[in-house]
Chain A
């Protein structure tokens, strides 16, 4: 045996997995190693990471259908989030307390997600090749449009509207008394004083991940992958490409809507107005960190990516702060997440046809 072979193998691994991903994984690993030295409680950190994983994973999962159908990275995630926000606010307006309100919210957000997703899908079918830029701005304009709507819509539940004027929704609305920790507390396991596993939330994600995994194994799911892989081939196999793409966009939008509801039940607040504005970027970079490319993604990418990304977001502030007494976590988050997106965009993939 010569020495060259392991090096070659290593190179092959780096090439297939991507250097940036390895750096990020090593970075997170070193953070976990450094944490005890820096005096940060690993249990709390891990618990936080798990919690954030559960909060964000479904929104990352929302990237999968659109990537599969060749619509690219769903920078238009805010549209799905808006559907979720509508569901949440209507659920609170109906004013049924307790975890039931969570399922009501999912119920109410569904028609909005379907309609918005359908329209968004129709739009993206007309702009094939320029999806990502347009998706970004569809997200932005819909958020800005809803800012007007939040002021005007006739909500009147006193927990939601501005106290002094009695109309117009507040920027943040607490979900306490409604669905706060509806999933988090379900079957949650307290291992130590610091380490809590939010079982319900993780199961909820696992359920959706399974549904998507299963969907991709069905006839329609197979067609969706083929459309993303080579739309001309799919057309020549009798597939209605536009319809499959629309379906994927609807799915992504609905997952985004459910995703924000899961996020809210753990976070405790509904963030309206400019809240959803930059929500797409973390989700996009998470799935890319997990190993997805502009036109290929799997459930495993979602799990790995969300864990790595949220791990870094949770660990950097605490570890950094105690190590060098400087909170550079924001900067690191910006550089890592956008750097990852840039890396993916500059790869030569089949996406440019």
Chain B
């Protein structure tokens, strides 16, 4: 058997669990030289975990390794770190740029792999005293850029580049990793959402570069949410869902709708879901967003118009980076925003959280540790603080209101009651928030929001990073709260099934706009289509 008959990469029976939480289950696939594999799946389907296993990231080793075998050219490997993977010719281009802004393209491409010219000082002070060989650096960088066949000035500073050129620089960096005594030259390139930030033109030229690379014998794993690109450029399409491979098919003749269906079309036990019919006719609009734009890095909202009815649970879904998280953050005023937000007939001035809170709304942030909690303070403080500052709760007043004293007893009582109600596991209400587990921290965030008795509650990614048991509890608490106190809830989540389990209707955000709104009972394939930016085939408009 010659080298060319053996698949370049084979993954056999790969499985992985994070502390009992199964995220990958019996993954099998192989990849030939020069093959382009399109890998698609919802957020959390297991794509990134699979890639982390391939590259031997620390995260995998620290959480107990993985099951199954990874084979490169027929030999079993287990990489200790990404640089080991690189030595075997496997490179990755990440979603975030890891480029130095004040270096030129060449300098970035050759970072820490610069060819050197000998100087005598290196004899005394070590090899780092050798001088960079700029000529050779330029030559290698140019060659790497040449393989991409794009117009990219190798002398340009990264800080002055358009975003597409940054992406090309990153890819060129991987390509320039030629065979040497320590590495084998690039054979497999993993591209994680390379076109997400590119304009259409740039994306086109990137896709043609990908094809060129594959013709040169480099295999490519292409991860993207843009399904048409997958169909255009890939040889094989692999769809993942819930940690399993659902489908591996040749790209020839596949339609976008098929992929969308495979991505989200899971069999859900519908009996578990408590379907309720919400009477939109009799409940007025409580919150109205008109042409909202939000400048939240990575979650830009461009033009969102959306009405929320009093008493409903509205879900907002969509792929990561499409702007769904920007909506509550912008409405609250945490990020620069524009447009009109009207709450109970009153227009809310944007860009000042105080106005949002004073109007009677609350927000549970997706960034628990950064925005949601005072990690170094007690649970009591976390629960009571916002209510104290905004609504002057938990205060005793002396001297005709001149002195507003913290009412420790009332704070303790209220916190204790939330601890009981939400089953927050803690030693005491005096415990510091940073000492709690993720799920319990999330419950503290909810308690903080409940304590202000909001008329409308935004909840952003309430179940991110918490275990299954806590997830169910959090969702149940939200539904109960909605039913018992009549509070309108707007829930933003990347997990469609989660939204479908408690929401009345769900708006899907794509490219910073509302792409469509469906009742939660609509088939999941319909949502799948909306999420990948395809208009629904059926007319559901009548329901909402």
Chain A in direct contact with chain B (Cβ < 8 angstroms): yes
Chain B residue nearest to A220 in the complex (CB): B404
Instruction: Pick from A96-104, A188-196, A233-241, A256-264 the stretch touching chain B.
Output: A233-241
Q: How close is A2's CB to chain B, nearest CB, in angstroms?
A: 24
Asked if A230 and B375 make an inter-chain contact with CB atoms under 8 angstroms apart, the answer reads yes
For the complex with contacts A236-B372, A238-B357, 9 further pairs of A-B residues with Cβ separation under 8 Å are: A218-B404, A229-B374, A230-B376, A233-B372, A233-B373, A236-B334, A237-B357, A237-B389, A237-B390
Q: How close is A67's CB to chain B, nearest CB, in angstroms?
A: 13
Instruction: Pick from B267-275, B297-305, B380-388 the stretch touching chain A.
Output: B380-388
Q: How close is A247's CB to chain B, nearest CB, in angstroms?
A: 14
Interface residues of B in 353-403 (CB under 8 A from A): 353-354, 356-358, 363, 365, 370-377, 381, 385-386, 388-390, 392, 395, 403
CA distance A12 to B56 in the complex (A): 36
10 A-B residue pairings within 8 Å (CB atoms): A222-B381, A230-B370, A230-B376, A233-B372, A233-B374, A236-B363, A236-B386, A237-B353, A237-B385, A240-B354
Query: A114 contacts which chain B residues (CB < 8 A)?
Result: none
Interface residues of B in 315-360 (CB under 8 A from A): 332, 334, 353-354, 356-358
Task: Name A's B-contacting residues (CB within 8 A).
Answer: 217-220, 222-223, 225-226, 229-230, 232-233, 235-240, 296, 350
Asked if A223 and B353 make an inter-chain contact with CB atoms under 8 angstroms apart, the answer reads no
Asked if A225 and B377 make an inter-chain contact with CB atoms under 8 angstroms apart, the answer reads yes
Asked if A229 and B404 make an inter-chain contact with CB atoms under 8 angstroms apart, the answer reads no
Query: A219 contacts which chain B residues (CB < 8 A)?
Result: 388-389, 392, 395, 404, 406
B481 contacts A by Cβ under 8 Å? no
Query: B97 contacts which chain A residues (CB < 8 A)?
Result: none
CA distance A219 to B406 in the complex (A): 6
Top 5 A-B pairs, shortest CB-CB distance: A238-B354, A237-B386, A219-B404, A238-B357, A229-B374
Query: B372 contacts which chain A residues (CB < 8 A)?
Result: 233, 236
B405 contacts A by Cβ under 8 Å? yes
Chain A residue nearest to B404 in the complex (CB): A219
Q: C-beta contact mask, B403-424 vs A, less than 8 Å → 1, else 0? A: 1111000000000000000000
Interface residues of B in 192-245 (CB under 8 A from A): none
A217, A219, A350 — most chain B CB neighbours (10 Å): A219
Q: How close is B333's CB to chain A, nearest CB, in angstroms?
A: 9
Chain A residue nearest to B387 in the complex (CB): A237
Query: B371 contacts which chain A residues (CB < 8 A)?
Result: 232-233, 236
Q: How close is B18's CB to chain A, nearest CB, in angstroms?
A: 26
CA distance A322 to B358 in the complex (A): 67
Asked if B406 and A226 make an inter-chain contact with CB atoms under 8 angstroms apart, the answer reads no
**Contacts A219-B388, A219-B395: A236 and B406 contacting too (C-beta < 8 A)?**
no
Q: How close is B368's CB to chain A, nearest CB, in angstroms?
A: 10
Query: A236 contacts which chain B residues (CB < 8 A)?
Result: 332, 334, 353, 363, 365, 371-372, 386
Query: B358 contacts which chain A residues (CB < 8 A)?
Result: 238
Asked if A226 and B395 make an inter-chain contact with CB atoms under 8 angstroms apart, the answer reads no
**Contacts A217-B406, A226-B377: A238 and B386 contacting too (C-beta < 8 A)?**
yes
CA distance A334 to B386 in the complex (A): 44
Query: B373 contacts which chain A residues (CB < 8 A)?
Result: 230, 233
| Residue in contact with B385 in the complex, picked from A218, A226, A235, A240, CB distance below 8 Å | A226
CA distance A218 to B404 in the complex (A): 5
CA distance A236 to B356 in the complex (A): 10
Chain A residue nearest to B355 in the complex (CB): A238
Query: A296 contacts which chain B residues (CB < 8 A)?
Result: 376
Query: B388 contacts which chain A residues (CB < 8 A)?
Result: 219, 222
| Residue in contact with B374 in the complex, picked from A217, A218, A230, A238, CB distance below 8 Å | A230
Query: B377 contacts which chain A residues (CB < 8 A)?
Result: 225-226, 229
Query: A225 contacts which chain B residues (CB < 8 A)?
Result: 377
Chain B residue nearest to A223 in the complex (CB): B389
B332, B334, B365, B374 — most chain A CB neighbours (10 Å): B374
Query: B389 contacts which chain A residues (CB < 8 A)?
Result: 219, 222-223, 237-239
CA distance A23 to B508 in the complex (A): 61
Query: B403 contacts which chain A residues (CB < 8 A)?
Result: 218
A222, A238, A296, A350 — most chain B CB neighbours (10 Å): A238
CA distance A223 to B389 in the complex (A): 7
Query: B376 contacts which chain A residues (CB < 8 A)?
Result: 229-230, 296, 350
Asked if A238 and B406 make an inter-chain contact with CB atoms under 8 angstroms apart, the answer reads no
Query: A226 contacts which chain B residues (CB < 8 A)?
Result: 374, 377, 381, 385
Q: How close is A30's CB to chain B, nearest CB, in angstroms?
A: 34
**Contacts A233-B374, A238-B386: A218 and B357 contacting too (C-beta < 8 A)?**
no
A223, A239, A296 — most chain B CB neighbours (10 Å): A239
CA distance A170 to B403 in the complex (A): 44
A217, A219, A237, A239 — most chain B CB neighbours (10 Å): A237
Asked if B404 and A350 make an inter-chain contact with CB atoms under 8 angstroms apart, the answer reads no
Q: How close is B367's CB to chain A, nearest CB, in angstroms?
A: 8
Asked if A350 and B375 make an inter-chain contact with CB atoms under 8 angstroms apart, the answer reads yes
Query: B370 contacts which chain A residues (CB < 8 A)?
Result: 230, 232
CA distance A220 to B363 in the complex (A): 22
Chain B residue nearest to A232 in the complex (CB): B371
Q: How close is B39's CB to chain A, nearest CB, in angstroms?
A: 35
Q: How close is A331's CB to chain B, nearest CB, in angstroms?
A: 36
CA distance A232 to B356 in the complex (A): 15
Q: How close is B318's CB to chain A, nearest CB, in angstroms?
A: 23
**Contacts A237-B390, A238-B386: A217 and B405 contacting too (C-beta < 8 A)?**
yes
Query: B334 contacts which chain A residues (CB < 8 A)?
Result: 232, 235-236
Query: A217 contacts which chain B residues (CB < 8 A)?
Result: 405-406
Query: A240 contacts which chain B residues (CB < 8 A)?
Result: 354
Chain B residue nearest to A238 in the complex (CB): B354
Q: How close is A129's CB to chain B, nearest CB, in angstroms?
A: 16
Chain B residue nearest to A353 in the complex (CB): B370
Q: How close is B68's CB to chain A, nearest CB, in angstroms?
A: 38
Query: A238 contacts which chain B residues (CB < 8 A)?
Result: 353-354, 356-358, 386, 389-390
Query: B353 contacts which chain A residues (CB < 8 A)?
Result: 235-238
Q: How close is A6's CB to chain B, nearest CB, in angstroms?
A: 22
Interface residues of B in 96-142 (CB under 8 A from A): none
Q: How close is A244's CB to chain B, nearest CB, in angstroms?
A: 10
CA distance A218 to B405 in the complex (A): 4
CA distance A237 to B357 in the complex (A): 8
